[in-house]
Amino acid sequence: MKLMLKGATNNLLSAIKELQSDLNFELAEDGIPILIKQADKGLSVSLKNGQGEIVYDKKAAFFRGLGLLLENYARSKTFHIEEDAQFETIGPMFDLSRNAVMKPERFEDMLRKLALMGFNSAMLYMEDVYEIESQPYFGYMRGRYSLDQLNQLDDYAHQFGIELIPCIQTLAHLEEFLKWSDASGLKDTRGVLLVESEATYTFVRDMIESVTKPFRSKRIHIGMDEAEELGRGVYLNKFGHKDRLELMTSHLNRVLEIVDENGLMPMMWSDMFMKLASKTGDAHYDLMTEIPDEIIEATPKNVTLMYWDYAHTKKEEYLAMMKKHKAFGRKPAFAGGIWVWNTFATNYGLSLGASDAALQACKQEGIQDVFVTLWGDDGYENNYFSAMLGLQLYAEHAYARTLDRSKLHDRVKFCTGIDAETYLLLNELDAIPGVDSNNKEQTNPSKFLLWQDVLLGLFDKHVEGLDLYSHYKALANKIRVSRDGNNALDYIFDVPEKLAELLSVKATIGVQLKAAYDRGDNKELKHIADQVLPEIIDKAEVLRLAHRKQWLHMHKPFGWEVIDIRYGGLKSRLETAIYRINEYVSGEIDFIDELEQKRLYYHDIENSTGLGWSSYYYRMASPNVFFHVLPI
């Protein structure tokens, strides 16, 4: 397809050329004439009598408009589309701190897709994956970005009108740096900085000045969430007990002084203030919480509070919490989430419902800064690109008062080349028989059924009597037939396909093994040892190789060793299971101790719509000691 752009400034042309390959168009004098105009407000895209027009306000809106024009040209030669931005800021937050540090070239791939969707910002969540010249152990062997890499990403995003915003931690969630002896003087507890120490504030200054240097944006997210251990480690031993609100606000004020000196506009997570206001001191979402005047008065006014909430599915619940945040005398920012974390599967059942309710509430309450988080807890076995349908939902909400689901599906197909139904197949990795289709309990069988030990069967009680072979076998086939090898993102479905194929055999093998052992069926035990477990080993290796290929294409190599070790442990334990079963069947041992144990529930699921969950690999693999974590 050929386009002749009239009125395209050099400011737009470089980025337009970046999109040519993805969208299969070229710029030519004999192309379809497209008139480009900039206006004060809104986005208008039209085509009539063989001529097109894009009228836009902000640069990011232009690229959405270009996508809308090309998308609709394929369906109709006459159309007129008008849209109005509902938010001042709209963008994803990429968790780059849980081992999966996106390669710069993959980040550029993502930015082009974000541009077509119409996003105008993105936050980079970096606990320790950026350079600090004075701290050689900061991000050491963790795939940290260099200053040049961040600068180049900022340049690339800027040409599309996308503002990159650094999101760091200036209090808690610094375990991966504070583990080094070189950082011992900065540590209160395992992940929390020692407040009221001048060395800490020298370090915080280095963090803030280092991370903001590559970015044009004057905005910075300073973190400060989930700091429940504040003042309970080295600080307590040295200085004794001090009120947590006083500790929190005095530290925050010191950090804000540094931020202000650098001419920055700060944001922070709000949960610690909400928790301190609750009766229990730890309830983030307690709708009954009233914010005491002392907390409102103690909270600095020169920081934007960011309300994060990923799990509620009713608009009224979000409205209630937003109004509580407004008690602080300012509009909060909001961060929702697409559930890509703690699982191989993207939980679209919960994500889409929760996001839709949250975004409706944001519009009703006039929230203007909206983000969507893509966390990567416990090693990021999933990936950012599996969230594209969820990101598209945020983008469509951002340009319309009311969400048009048909348009959402059309747009995600155009922007990513993959239809909504294919993305939704990912949901079925966890939404298995026994799980509510919306998966509000965040049950994650795609993870715990993979990593759980076949002899110990910690989750076997949860899947007794379920036909998971048929579910996963059918799912593997559905993913296989839906794939398109010509699509640049097709590779993200290779791991889900191979995982479903593996789980069709492994998901309930522990139940079968225990049942055969209990009834003394040595023939079945021998079949499992000689046929089924070797098949699982083979399928696990196929999955590992697919996962390795995906990781090394998408991410820096640092962190893959964690997942590689998990696959190695899975294989070793399956080989040990074969050895143990053969010992028993041959009469070398009188019993298999692990199979003598009664199976118990990992979680009480009697009143649940799910099958239980676990956030950590090491808890799925074994109930025994992996490591002993001291509080400091």
Residue type, 254: R
Tokens of 145: 């970005």
The closest of 496, 470, 469, 499 to 483, measured between CA atoms, is 496
Residue 631 pLDDT = 53
Residue 256 pLDDT = 98
Q: Are 359 and 336 in contact (CB under 8 A)?
A: yes
- As a whole number of Å, the end-to-end CA separation of the chain is 62
Phi-psi region of 591 (alpha: psi -120 to 50; beta: other; left: phi over 0): beta
- For the chain, what is the mean pLDDT? 96
Q: What is the mean pLDDT of residues 565-571?
A: 98
Q: What is d(CA 197, CA 35) in angstroms, rounded to the nearest whole number?
A: 59
Secondary element (H or E) of residue 79: strand 79-83
Q: What is d(CA 473, CA 9) in angstroms, rounded to the nearest whole number?
A: 53
351 pLDDT band, cuts 50/70/90, is very high
Q: Are 268 and 252 in contact (CB under 8 A)?
A: yes
Give the pLDDT confidence of 505-549 residue by residue, as tens digits.
999 999 999 999 999 999 999 999 999 999 999 999 999 999 999
At residue 569, does pLDDT exceed 60? yes
Residue 608 pLDDT = 87
Tokens of 241: 């007990």
Residue 606 pLDDT = 82
At residue 628, does pLDDT exceed 90? no
Q: Are 474 and 323 in contact (CB under 8 A)?
A: no
Give the pLDDT confidence of 217-250 residue by residue, as tens digits.
999 999 999 999 999 999 999 999 999 999 999 9
Helix (H, G, I), strand (E, B) or coil at 307: strand
Q: At a CB cut-off of 8 Å and minimum separation 6, what does 608 contact?
A: 441, 443
Q: At a CB cut-off of 8 Å and minimum separation 6, what does 166 contact?
A: 123, 124, 126, 130, 211, 212, 215, 217, 220, 221
At residue 279, does pLDDT exceed 80? no
Residue 287 pLDDT = 81
Of the candidate ranges 132-141, 183-192, 261-270, 280-289, the one whose mean pLDDT is the lowest: 280-289
Residue 278 pLDDT = 81
Q: What is the mean pLDDT of residues 125-141?
A: 98
Distances (CA, A) of 290 to 89, 285, 287, 294, 629: 29, 11, 8, 11, 35
Secondary element (H or E) of residue 478: helix 468-482
pTM, two decimal places: 0.97
Residue 290 pLDDT = 86
Q: What is the mean pLDDT of residues 367-392?
A: 98
Q: List, in sequence order, the alpha helices (H) in 74-167.
A: 104-117, 147-158
Q: Are 338 and 375 in contact (CB under 8 A)?
A: no
Residue 629 pLDDT = 63
Residue 632 pLDDT = 52
At residue 394, does pLDDT exceed 60? yes
At residue 603, does pLDDT exceed 60? yes
The closest of 541, 517, 543, 540 to 528, measured between CA atoms, is 517
At residue 284, does pLDDT exceed 80? no
Q: What is the mean pLDDT of residues 592-618?
A: 93
Q: What is the mean pLDDT of residues 25-37?
A: 96
Work out whether strand 79-83 and strand 43-48 pair parallel, antiparallel, or are unpaired.
antiparallel
Burial of 108 (0-12, 13-18, 19+ CB in 10 A): middle
Tell me phi and psi for residue 5, to 5 degrees. -95, 125
What are residue 45's DSSP bridge partners? Answer: 54, 81
- The C-alpha torsion from 590 through 592 and 598 to 604, rounded to 10°, is 180
Q: What is the mean pLDDT of residues 396-418?
A: 98
Q: Are 58 and 161 in contact (CB under 8 A)?
A: yes
Q: What is the mean pLDDT of residues 617-631?
A: 85
Residue type, 35: L
Residue 353 pLDDT = 97
Of the candidate ranges 45-54, 237-246, 329-338, 604-613, the one whose mean pLDDT is the lowest: 604-613
Count of Cβ atoms closer than 10 Å to residue 329 Cβ: 10
Q: What is d(CA 357, CA 320) in angstroms, rounded to the nearest whole number?
A: 12
What letters, b where the CB count within 10 A reaches 16 and e where it falls short, cover 580-597? Answer: bbeebbeeeeeebebbee
What are residue 221's DSSP bridge partners? Answer: 167, 267
